[in-house]
């Protein structure tokens, strides 16, 4: 498929919520771009950004801790050298985890959602990413000591200053979101979801997000399929073998298409540094899985038919 065609496919599929700018339906995850994975040079990152953008990928997912607090700065330096206009892309980043590493000598891993830490994290991310604003700031993990009123006051101040556009959370359950939403409106929740980790389709999480008009980003959208060899993945592989022939696609594409069929309009975060794999992910947007095939894959994952 020609690159132009891929862009058109992605463009047609751009989804958005009324209160925010459109994000590319396939989000590029940067966790493994730097020290936690590919260790790309600045030139390689710049090339990657430009190629992804040419394919229609406009949304890049970060977190302050990626690469041991180093990947944001590496990405930002590369982006500054690229030909991609800042206003044409969206930067997501996360804060809250205090992680012991070479760049942060701490005695224990913990969560910090104090006013000081949120403000400092945002200032650092703005500086590292070479940008005047962050499109979406997420709280990375829920903390049992989180105080909703302090978070809300801090985020609202940062929004008034134009330093962040939208606010959300990552890995939060509905009750934790409800607590926060007593003080401030959330736009996104980033959760783990896949064919091998479909619990949030049944525990009320996705229903809640849809009802509250909160967007759902999905990390690890391929689940454990390519990582583990067990009874579950064996059942899925057998089912995929037949369905991939039917839909004339790759396994990874059908796994993404399975997620994309969900009515909550999931935004998969594809954490690859391979141009071919990101092209494959974009092509998954074309696949329309039939209802019975969707449930065949679910049955294969769960090991039994639905009740």
Picking from 19, 21, 22, the residue whose alpha carbon sits closest to that of residue 10 is 22
Distance, in Å, from the CA atom of 269 to the CA atom of 272, rounded to the nearest integer, reads 9
Q: What is d(CA 307, CA 297) in angstroms, rounded to the nearest whole number?
A: 15
What is the four-CA torsion angle of 55, 169, 141, 254, rounded to 10 degrees?
Answer: -40
247 noted as active-site residue: no
180 exposed, middle or buried (CB, 10 Å; 0-12, 13-18, 19+)? buried
Please name the residues in contact with 213: beta carbons below 8 A apart, sequence gap of 6 or more: 17, 18
107 by Cβ neighbours in 10 Å (0-12 / 13-18 / 19+) ranks as exposed
- Which entry of 66, 69, 166, 267 is annotated as an active-site residue? 66
Lookup: tokens for 142:
């829920």
Residues annotated catalytic, as ranges:
66
């Amino acid at each position: 498929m020609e690159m132009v065609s891929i862009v058109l496919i992605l463009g047609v599929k751009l989804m958005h919520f009324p209160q925010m700018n459109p994000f590319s339906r396939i989000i590029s995850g940067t966790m493994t771009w730097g020290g936690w994975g590919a260790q790309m040079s600045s030139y390689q990152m710049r090339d990657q950004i430009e190629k992804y953008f040419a394919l229609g990928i406009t949304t890049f997912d970060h977190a302050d801790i990626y690469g041991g607090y180093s990947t944001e700065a590496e990405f930002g330096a590369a982006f500054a050298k690229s030909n991609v206009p800042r206003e044409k892309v969206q930067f997501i980043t996360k804060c809250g985890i205090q992680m012991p590493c070479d760049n942060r000598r701490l005695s224990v891993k913990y969560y910090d959602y104090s006013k000081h830490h949120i403000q400092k994290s945002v200032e650092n991310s703005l500086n590292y990413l070479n940008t005047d604003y962050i499109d979406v700031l997420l709280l990375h993990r829920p903390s049992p000591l989180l105080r909703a009123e302090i978070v809300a006051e801090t985020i609202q101040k940062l929004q008034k200053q134009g330093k962040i556009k939208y606010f959300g959370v990552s890995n939060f359950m509905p009750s934790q979101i409800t607590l926060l939403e007593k003080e401030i409106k959330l736009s996104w929740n980033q959760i783990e979801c896949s064919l091998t980790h479909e619990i949030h389709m049944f525990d009320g999480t996705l229903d809640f997000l849809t009802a509250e008009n909160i967007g759902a980003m999905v990390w690890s959208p391929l689940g454990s399929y390519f990582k583990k060899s067990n009874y579950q993945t064996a059942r899925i592989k057998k089912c995929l073998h037949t369905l991939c022939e039917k839909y004339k696609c790759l396994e990874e594409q059908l796994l993404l298409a399975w997620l994309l069929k969900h009515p909550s309009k999931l935004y998969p975060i594809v954490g690859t540094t391979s141009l071919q794999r990101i092209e494959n992910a974009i092509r998954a947007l074309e696949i329309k899985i039939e209802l019975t095939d969707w449930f065949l894959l679910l049955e294969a994952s769960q090991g039994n038919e639905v009740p």
